[in-house]
Amino acid sequence: MIAVVNSLSMYATHKDSDIDLFIVTQPGMIWFVRFFSTCILWKNRVWRKNEDIAGNFCLSFFITTEALDFSKIAIENDIYLYYWIYFLKPIFEKNNTYEKFLEANIWVQIDEDQKIENQKYVIKDIPTISSLFLFSRKKKEYFYKKINQLIRFFLLPKTLKSYKKL
């Protein structure tokens, strides 16, 4: 699933706003998806970098389908996270990921009108990268997991260094 979050999803943008994305991937693929999402945005010159923010995309949040329950990271009376989930707007999904995300976060009470509003722009049937390969499903999974491991090997040290700075 790819969803728009933060100011754009809440209709609270201004002229300097970026577009924050929340991406959910299958387990074992987070590094692969993160790397290729960044490459696609960078190639199209719409990746948020340093001061170049307005109208560009920020790859803010990545999780796997094994980590859909946000109550584990919510602080007591976390109003920000509550509304972050409440207004989250999926723009692409497969396998009913948005519905599964809402089920995992039942503590966020979203009325039916808001659910309909949130799903207004969702696309469910665009081809994925894996559909371009003619391998069996098992070979595709093995291939992608190996690429994921390779990308993780090279990018994890940089990510940890950035984390320490923060």
DSSP assignment of 46-90 equals -B-BTTB-TT-EEEEEEEEGGG--GGGTPPTT-HHHHHHHHH-EE
Phi, psi for residue 63 in degrees, rounded to 5: -140, 170
The residue with greater pLDDT, 150 or 109, is 109
Q: What burial letters (b/e) apply to 86-118, b meaning 16+ CB within 10 Å?
A: bbbbbebbeeebbeebbebbeebebeeeeeeeb
Kindly report which listed range (20-24, 75-79, 147-151) carries the lowest average pLDDT score. 147-151
- Looking at residue 127, its pLDDT comes to 61
pLDDT in tens, 79-99: 999 999 999 999 999 889 999
- Looking at residue 48, its pLDDT comes to 76
- Looking at residue 117, its pLDDT comes to 93
What is the rounded CA–CA span in Å between residue 62 and residue 24?
6
pLDDT in tens, 48-62: 777 768 888 999 899
- Looking at residue 149, its pLDDT comes to 78
For residue 22, pLDDT over 90 is answered with: yes
- Looking at residue 133, its pLDDT comes to 53
CA atoms within 13 Å, Cβ hemisphere of 35 = 16
- Domains of the chain, residue spans: 2-165
